[in-house]
Structure 1
Amino acid sequence: METLKDKFKVQKERAILVAAAQRGESGYKYNDLSELSALAESAGAAIVYKLQQKIDRINPSTYIGRGKAELLGEHAESEKADVVIFDNDLSPAQIRELEKVVGVRVIDRSELILDIFATRARTRQAKLQVELAQLQYTYPRLTRLWSHLDTVAGAAGGAGAAGAVGGIGTRGTGEKQLEIDRRLVNKRITELKREIEGIDKRKMREIKGRHDQYKVSLVGYTNAGKSTLMNALTDAEVFVEDRLFATLDTRTRKWSVDKGVEVLLSDTVGFVSHLPHHLVASFKATLEEAVHADLLLQVVDVSDEDVFEQIKSVDQVLDDIGCGEKERLVLFNKSDALASEANLESLQAIYPDAICISARTGMNLDLLAQAVLDRYRQEEMTVRVKIALSDGKTQSFLRGYCEILEENYTDSHVEIEARLGKSQLPALKSLKPAELRLDA
């Protein structure tokens, strides 16, 4: 028998949102449910009721207490709700008990985010990553899904005492269906990890193969405008839509920030507060773009009322993946859509070097390019290289990735003075030019 929550179909289902606030050092901290509302709507739900509840401690049975759960059931009935979505993470036992009391499906925040990711995944890599995250989330929550199989015995089973059914080697108490489910899930998790590991290795080789280029990565809260900015700066043609997690796949394109200066610009999956750790682990290869970047462009939606919480959430995820101390340039996107400048003034006091932009209109994107160019040139050095005329590979490298300052030809060699980034120096040395000098 399936539990009520086993299938959450992405359609216009009527949803009730619930958030429980526990007492902390500064009292009860309420969540206005705006983010959960956006997540639910992104999954295709219609919000019909919202409930916030103060709790001194988590009820081990229903999380919010049985009385409140019964009241929730009344609202579910009167509003003809199809699903109840909690902003809190629930245990399997709490979900089962709540479904008995409320009478409709109950899911928690993590399951909702996983469901959204499942509907957004397009590439093979993203689909595998989402499936792995879902199975890792589901594994500890497995319950017996079929009531007609208590135990599995041999094919020759029939009436008689336990242990007397089945053929030789199959007799005994049998195997619980739950154990079979867990074994199958474990096997699939192992298969997915192996396949994703292969993709990750290829991805890492791609990223490490770019060591001779300056790498910039876009990071930020979901729906902050990263994909729109990516399209505005390059010809990436990334899918853009005003919804959370519109894109899950990383794209990397060349961005010409100045004549003769190109950097690699990568988009990353959007962050959200309390992003399930299974997703962070599964999307490790995607997030490696940020880990190996020379510069992070943190895109902030300054038109959002929860902008401070969103910045905090992004900072937390960056810390989790080891990017907390990486050089970062903050971009205040959607500056042209501000209803009030109060938030902007407060943010500018905290981030005085941030740039106000509009990815949609192109406002101040020239200032952004200049800021990236300045940081690129902080990492630059001037070199003098003597190259044999027959050494086309080294010449091609210098002309493709460096700024040529001067060239002098002799009968057998060309001497080139060029400016390049420090990260490109090892690649130049590996080409073994006839002579290489670094200018002070």
Structure 2
Amino acid sequence: MPGDRPSAERLTHRIKSMAKTGESRVAEERIPSAILVGIQLPGIDDDAHAASLAELGRLVKTLGYEVVGTLSQKRDELDGATVLGKGKLEELAAMTGGTGVVGSMAHVRKPRARERLEDADGKESAAGPTEPDLAAPLMPEYVIVDHDISPNQARNIEQATGAEVLDRTGVIVEIFHRHAHSREAKLQVEMARLKYIAPRLRESAAGGERRQGYGAGESDLEVERRKIRDRLAELKEQLAAIQRDSDQRRAARRDQLRVALVGYTNAGKSSLMQALTGSEVLVADKLFATLDTTVRALRPETTPRILVSDTVGFIKKLPHDLVASFRSTLAEALEASLLLFVLDASDPTYESQLDVSRNVLREIGAEVVPSRLLLNKIDRVNEADRAALRTKHPDAIFLSARSPADVAALRETIIAFFEAAMVEEEFVVPYAKQRLLSDVYGHVHVLSENFDATGRIIKVRGVSGAIERLRRTLSAS
């Protein structure tokens, strides 16, 4: 057509445009785009359904993708083959540029996301290299389903839409994979990721062929699954060794006073941890920014010291394999003396988030640990809603992690909790055993000191466990 530029000229024009905006890559390097898909099942009201899809959108954004559309449908149950009904599947295919056809008559092609990755690796299609059509509309490359779906359902949706399909669990597992930093967290996430991937492996085009030599008689798919089983066994052994070391460290802290911050992801636990302890922990406005448990002393320091733990956040439909993998990390909550449930008071779904947090902790047996409810980000809540929150949760602590006064008040509340459980005791430390004084001063609060012919008479106040341990130490030395 007369108004069209030749392909090469269009490409040059596009490169110049990108240079003006500071971009350095061609269109194929753009941020991946995704369509969200949700099924509103019976018993789920409109608000809860909308909140779940909004949360999925935040997960996808955390993954680095751009949400360009949402498709929702009310159904009594997920369609066993394609999740959506036939009409909605065709509507989804129209959004992604797919055929909408599933089955033997469908044109089988790789999802565009995979094609793009293979092109980036220097691979070419059977038809040879093709010049990118920069004038063509950019279709979403991913379909993200807000439910756990089977490998067969994912394949059918990919076939109909030409897009890569991930379910909610797949997104969460991938985020965990990207955010893990410590060796323990990396091993835990790799284990969960392999368990997720294993049933979703597919035969290649020549997948029916059997190998010769090593692994003779196995197909490529069977070999890959065997490798995953072997790797899982190896990871289990490595984690067991790390967890033995972690158990020893926790045992050494058993007589110390410990507080664990628990709650929904992005509720502000890391911000509160930083404010209470002065530690340089990662604070980011994204889901699952923290996967590694951090333990720091409450600041200013108290005698005895109070340790504060920041734990991995929870989320609705948290994959069971991730809960199982992070069981040792969550043990910090199980062994704490006090749990602080941190909630985002400005989130209208905070109550369901509290239920999720309690259910996860119940799964590891931590529901018996004393707890307090912290409604964080209260500075984002108007006065009328604050009054309603106070009526509904009269025992909750209202605060903003950004307010020094609120954090100082919380610190005093924590100290008061432990002091209420403390008892007083009097010890005589013989002059020949003065080396033990550092142990005394490190674990209890010394109220007074006197001296007589036998040694130093010390009146102390502390938790019963620490005092009992000191009594044994003094009698054995």
* TM-score (structure 1 length as normaliser): 0.87
1:387–1:413 CA contact under 8 A, matched in 2: yes
- 1:93 equivalent in alignment to 2:113: no
Other-structure match for 2:424: 382
Give 1:74 deviation, angstroms.
0.5
Tell me: CA distance 1:402–1:136, structure 2 relative to 1, closer, same or farther (3 Å). same
1:63 aligns to what SS in structure 2? coil
Structure 1: how far apart are the matches of 2:89 and 2:430?
A: 80
Whether the 8 Å CA contact 1:302–1:343 is kept in 2: the answer is: no
- 2:111 corresponds in structure 1 to none
Q: Secondary structure at the match of 1:117?
A: helix
Is 1:56 equivalent to 2:73 in the alignment?
no
Check conservation: 1:254, 1:264, Cα contact below 8 A.
Answer: yes
Deviation at 1:283, TM superposition (A): 0.8
After TM superposition, the runs of 4+ consecutive aligned structure 1 residues lying more than 4 A away are: 25-29, 256-259
Considering fraction of residues, name the structure with more strand. Answer: 1
For 1:269, the equivalent position in structure 2 comes to 312
Where 2:49 maps in the other structure, the secondary structure is coil
* 2:396 match: 354
Partner of 1:42: 62
What's the offset of the Cα at 1:188?
A: 0.5
- 1:325 aligned onto 2:384: no
- Total equivalences in the alignment: 410
Name the counterpart of 1:438.
none
1:14 equivalenced with 2:33 (yes/no): yes
Q: Among residues 270, 286, 292, which one is paired with 2:329 in the alignment?
A: 286
Question: Partner of 1:163 in structure 2?
Answer: none
Compute the displacement of 1:89 (Å).
0.6
Picking from 70, 78, 93, the partner of 1:73 is 93
Compare 421-430 and 396-405 and name the one that shifted more.
Answer: 421-430
The CA deviation string for residues 326-381 of structure 1, in whole angstroms up to 9 with x for no partner, is: 2111111111122x345433332332121111112324122211211121012100
Letter in 2 for 1:57: E
1:14-413 to 2 correspondence within 5 Å? Answer: 14-24=33-43, 30-32=49-51, 33-77=53-97, 80-144=139-203, 146-155=204-213, 174-256=217-299, 260-338=303-381, 340-413=382-455
Distance 1:358 1:24, change over 3 A: closer
Gapped runs of 5+ residues in structure 1?
1-8, 156-165, 436-440
How far residue 139 of structure 1 moved from its aligned partner, in angstroms, is: 2.0
2 CA distance for matches of 1:209 and 1:323? 20
Q: CA RMSD in A?
A: 2.4
Tell me if the contact between 1:358 and 1:364 (Cα under 8 Å) persists in the aligned partners. Answer: yes
In 1, Cα distance between the equivalents of 2:355 and 2:386?
16
Gaps of 5+ in 2: 1-27, 98-136
Once the two structures are superposed, what CA deviation does each residue of 1:228-284 show, in whole Å capped at 9, x if it has no partner?
111111132101111111121111111146753420111101111111111111111
Amino acid at match of 1:298: F
Task: Give the 3 Å change call, closer, same or farther, for CA 342–210 of structure 1 in structure 2.
Answer: same
Q: For residues 130-151 of structure 1, what are the alpha-carbon distances to aligned partners after superposition, in whole Å with 9 as ceiling and x for unaligned? A: 100101112222322x323423
Q: 2-side partners of 1:310 and 1:202: how far apart?
A: 32
Provide the C-alpha distance between the structure 1 equivalents of 2:257 and 2:55, rounded to a whole number of angstroms.
35
Distance 1:31 1:324, change over 3 A: farther
Contact 1:333 1:359 in 2 (8 A): yes
Deviation at 1:202, TM superposition (A): 0.9
More helix by share: 2
Kindly provide the amino acid, as one letter, of the partner of residue 88 in structure 2: K
- TM-score by length of structure 2 reads 0.81
Relative distance call for 1:406 and 1:193 in structure 2 (3 A) is same
Give the structure 2 partner of residue 161 of structure 1.
none
